Amino acid sequence: MQPGQGFSLDSIRRAAEDKILAAVDGVITHIPNGQQYREQFRQAIDSAMDELQRQAQNQLNNLGGMRGRQSDQGNPPVH
């Protein structure tokens, strides 16, 4: 993440995905004919990252809903 960019799931995903792909590329070079599987690895990683990002977004949404409910606790109802 660049300074001042702020928190975003997309920027975290890109950073993680870049590191994972770099690691996979490093391993592929040591596997005989590994380059032929490179695109399949990339697709599998992209699919896994989609699922992780979806789960993280759901958790953030749940936290936001819980925070709103917790802030109302202890306050008298407004009539």
28, 41 in Cβ contact below 8 A?
yes
pLDDT for the residue numbered 23? 95
pTM confidence score = 0.66
pLDDT for the residue numbered 65? 75
> Which domain range does residue 65 map to?
9-70
pLDDT for the residue numbered 3? 47
Mean pLDDT score, 31-57: 93
Work out the percent of the chain whose per-residue pLDDT is above 90: 54
Domain count, the chain: 1
pLDDT for the residue numbered 28? 92
Distances (CA, A) of 58 to 10, 32, 45, 55: 14, 40, 20, 5
pLDDT for the residue numbered 63? 85
In a domain, 46, yes or no: yes
Whether residue 49 has pLDDT greater than 50: yes
In a domain, 23, yes or no: yes
In a domain, 78, yes or no: no
